[in-house]
A and B are shown apart, each in its own frame.
Chain A
């Protein structure tokens, strides 16, 4: 069964608007970490944000925030004030106590001018 599900193959957003990229996960492990990565067309994987399963507050890093809903097992990435440079693939990932990093299928975000 899929551990990480990203249901949006592609998303469009107007420049300067906010966008939410969905991610749901499946685990019975009480200790886990959730991660978001950005992959521009150059191919590098850029770490954006991290949320721990025990964290009480949603993680934020600049224009990125993670909407963590533990009971629903969702960890959506919110990008505020979108910029043209935000156009990329975005991957959600989870790490459980076995320490393997599991990636979702990714969402391609296109920011329109």
Chain B
């Protein structure tokens, strides 16, 4: 498994501002993932972040709105830019722990960042 921490754990922000969420892992990992969970919903993948390359965004998510950094193998940040109340969600980072072949890698999650936008 992996120990993953996120900062901040929660925040209340004003419309139009930006928030950067940090994710730290206790071991080196190749792939890190950022998810959004809107109230009462399941998880939606925002993007996959590999060290040394641009993040890969899922349909409906763009780099201008959710810029991601991945400066090394243990750390990543997600910025939620120009926030609106619709961005109020839990944001979770996760990492893969290899299971041996495709389809078996387990994802471990950080504790999440609960964001409220007023």
In the complex, which of the residues A33, A46, A104, A106 contacts B105, with contact meaning CB atoms closer than 8 Å? A33
Q: Are B103 and A45 in contact (CB under 8 A)?
A: no
Indicate whether B32 reaches chain A with its CB closer than 8 angstroms.
no
CA distance A46 to B103 in the complex (A): 19
CB pair A99–B105 under 8 Å, yes or no, is yes
Which partner residue on chain B sits nearest A100 by CB separation?
Answer: B45
| Beta-carbon contact of B103 and A29 below 8 Å | yes
Do A91 and B112 form a contact, CB below 8 Å, given A52-B104, A99-B103? no
A42 at the A/B interface (Cβ < 8 Å)? yes
Give the distance to chain A from B59, nearest Cβ to Cβ, in Å: 12
- Are B106 and A50 in contact, with the CB atoms below 8 A? yes
Contact across chains for A43 and B102 when beta carbons are under 8 A apart = no
Are the C-beta atoms of B114 and A43 separated by less than 8 Å? yes
Which of B1, B92, B103, B106 touches A53 (beta carbons < 8 Å)?
B103
A86: chain B residues within 8 A (beta carbon):
none
A residues within 8 A CB of B41? 105
| Inter-subunit contact B45/A105 (CB<8 Å) | no
Contact with A32, one of B42, B103, B111 (Cβ below 8 angstroms) = B103
Which residue of chain A is the closest to B109 with respect to CB atoms? A45
How would residues 72 to 111 of chain B score, 1 for a CB under 8 Å from any chain A CB and 0 otherwise?
0000000000000000001010100001011111111111
Q: Closest B-chain residue to A106, C-beta based?
A: B42
CB pair B111 A47 closer than 8 Å: no
CA distance A39 to B42 in the complex (A): 11
Within the assembled complex, what's the spacing in Å between the Cα atoms of A95 and B102?
8
- By a CB distance below 8 angstroms, the chain A residues around B106 are 33, 35, 47, 50
Structural contact, B103 and A33, CB atoms closer than 8 A = yes
Say yes or no: A105 contacts B103, CB within 8 Å.
no
Residues in A lying within 8 Å of B, measured CB to CB: 29, 31-33, 35, 37, 42-47, 50, 52-53, 91, 95-101, 103-106
What are 24 A-B interface contacts by the 8 Å CB criterion? A29-B103, A31-B103, A33-B105, A42-B111, A42-B112, A43-B111, A43-B112, A44-B112, A45-B43, A45-B112, A47-B1, A47-B107, A50-B106, A91-B43, A95-B102, A95-B105, A96-B103, A99-B102, A99-B103, A99-B105, A101-B45, A101-B107, A103-B43, A105-B42
